């Protein structure tokens, strides 16, 4: 064991106080904070919000105090299509509707995993992982696909936001309490060798409790509704007797099977041109399994550019908290000059950050533009879901170098993949552990 001695600490103190530059910096950092003191104006100059490809998207949405970025991003890609096709000026799809069914399905998915691990001790790594967070707001692209396929979508006016969808802290607190109690009951039934029929009956009663909790907190999802709107020419439209599924088919019409998740994870355990999945990751039992194709970063970016060139925005996942300014909306490696501020070396490779817990996907947004110079991407336009008071009316600018280091996932049409890439995606995936960083929820 190596103990810190008083002599060592005095030596460090003396060295710090003898460094006049550092003492001067100390005054500014103590008063103003780390980020404010380190923010680099040069990053703003280098990342102006002008792009050679810039898609029309309308106003940004606002997920408020919730972790629903992944579903906001997916619904925003659909909204972009509807705005253009039906000449809508302002329109949103209901995030609360999708939120309800995600919570409902995640409860059942949790039961499935609890029963599958019921022969393990509660202290085992898998069971402890499940119980730590039985469900949460975040998700993955394939999880939203499962929800859209099963439940469709509805306009926001049909199921508007609730207090608990806009601020989900209490909802998650009490839903997770309920699910942990259900886990106790299910594990005891298995330990007591209860008949399968008894477990099925009990599980159904538990789902009723979950439905009641969700309906009370979020409202009751509509089964049939009318859709009325005025287009940009002020023409009135009325479509009656729609279901969420028929609305999706008529007004969205996107074949979700034609899209594929691409990741960039340059770690030794994940060779490129292979497909991967994550154990115990999902929401809808029997839904679309989570699956990725791991590709190198240059190919990754080329695929995103192709889709933008064809006029379609791109769902993507990244580690948004790394070297980004929330208010001004700059995502750049030099957004903050932390190295000079602390005289410390923070540098790691992307693989090292993934392997050592320093970074993973934390947020999903939408690529709506890119600046291509001499055939190379230089910066990207990002539609966030934090409202219009951040960035440029809610839009961020991401440098190409930042994308290399902190972007982990995009969703693109299969038609852009080569035959070899598509075969690699469709091959039997390598199964990753539940706690693998590629299993992170945006």
List, as one string, the DSSP characters of 88-114: -SS--B-HHHHHHHHHHHHHHHHHHHH
Task: Name the H helices within 162-296.
Answer: 163-166, 169-191, 196-218, 244-247
Q: Could you tell me how many helices (H) and strands (E) the chain has, helices first?
A: 17, 14
Q: What is the 3-state secondary structure (H, E, C) of 310-379?
A: CCCCEEEEECCCCCEECCCCEECCCCECHHHHHCCCCCCCHHHHHHCCCCCCCEEEEEEEEEEECCEEEE
Where does 379-435 have alpha helices with state H? 400-406, 419-426
Element (H, E) at 53: strand 53-54
Angstrom distance (rounded) from CA 426 to CA 105: 26
Nearby residues of 81 by Cβ (< 8 Å), 6 or more positions away: 252, 254
Catalytically active residues are 69, 363, 384
Tally Cβ neighbours within 10 Å of residue 392: 15
CA 13 to chain centre: 43
The helix, strand and coil proportions of the chain, stated in percent and rounded to the nearest 5, come to: 45, 20, 35
Report the alpha-carbon distance of residue 165 to residue 155 in Å, rounded: 16
Q: Is residue 226 classed as helix, strand or coil in its secondary structure?
A: strand
Measuring CA to CA, which residue among 364, 363, 400 is closest to residue 381?
Answer: 400
């Amino acid at each position: 064991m190596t103990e810190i001695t008083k002599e060592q600490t005095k030596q460090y103190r003396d060295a710090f106080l003898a460094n006049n530059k550092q003492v001067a910096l100390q005054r500014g950092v103590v008063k103003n904070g780390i980020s404010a003191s380190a923010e680099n104006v040069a990053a703003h100059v280098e990342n102006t919000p002008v792009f050679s490809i810039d898609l029309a998207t309308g106003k940004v949405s606002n997920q408020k105090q919730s972790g629903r970025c992944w579903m906001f991003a997916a619904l925003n890609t659909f909204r972009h299509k509807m705005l253009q096709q039906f000449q809508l000026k302002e329109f949103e799809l209901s995030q609360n509707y999708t939120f309800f069914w995600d919570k409902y399905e995640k409860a059942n998915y949790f039961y499935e995993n609890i029963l599958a691990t019921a022969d393990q001790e509660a202290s085992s790594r898998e069971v402890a992982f499940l119980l730590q967070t039985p469900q949460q707001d975040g998700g993955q692209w394939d999880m939203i696909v499962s929800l859209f396929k099963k439940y469709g979508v509805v306009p926001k006016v049909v199921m508007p936001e609730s207090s608990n969808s806009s601020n989900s802290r209490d909802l998650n607190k009490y839903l997770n309490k309920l699910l942990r109690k259900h886990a106790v009951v299910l594990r005891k039934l298995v330990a007591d060798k209860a008949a399968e029929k008894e477990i099925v009956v009990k599980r159904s009663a538990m789902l009723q409790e979950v439905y009641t909790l969700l309906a009370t907190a979020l409202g009751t999802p509509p089964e049939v509704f009318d859709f009325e709107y005025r287009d940009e020419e002020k023409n009135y439209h009325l479509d009656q007797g729609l279901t969420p599924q028929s609305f999706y088919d008529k007004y969205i019409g996107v074949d979700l099977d034609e899209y594929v998740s691409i990741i960039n994870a340059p770690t030794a355990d994940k060779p490129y041109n292979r497909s991967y999945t994550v154990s115990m990751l999902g929401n809808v039992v029997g839904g679309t399994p989570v699956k990725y194709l791991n590709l190198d970063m240059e190919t990754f970016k080329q695929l995103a550019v192709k889709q933008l060139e064809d006029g379609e925005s791109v769902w993507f996942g990244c580690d948004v908290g790394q070297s980004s300014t929330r208010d001004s909306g700059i995502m750049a490696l030099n957004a903050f000059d932390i190295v000079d501020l602390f005289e410390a070396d923070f540098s790691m490779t992307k693989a090292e950050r993934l392997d050592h817990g320093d970074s993973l996907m934390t947020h999903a947004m939408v690529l709506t533009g890119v600046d291509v110079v001499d055939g190379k991407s230089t910066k990207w336009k990002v539609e966030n879901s934090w409202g219009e008071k951040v960035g440029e009316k809610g839009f961020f600018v991401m440098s190409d170098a930042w994308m290399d280091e902190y972007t982990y996932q995009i969703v693109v049409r299969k038609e852009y993949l080569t035959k070899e890439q598509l075969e690699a995606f469709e091959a039997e995936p390598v199964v990753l552990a539940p706690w693998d960083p590629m299993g992170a929820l945006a």
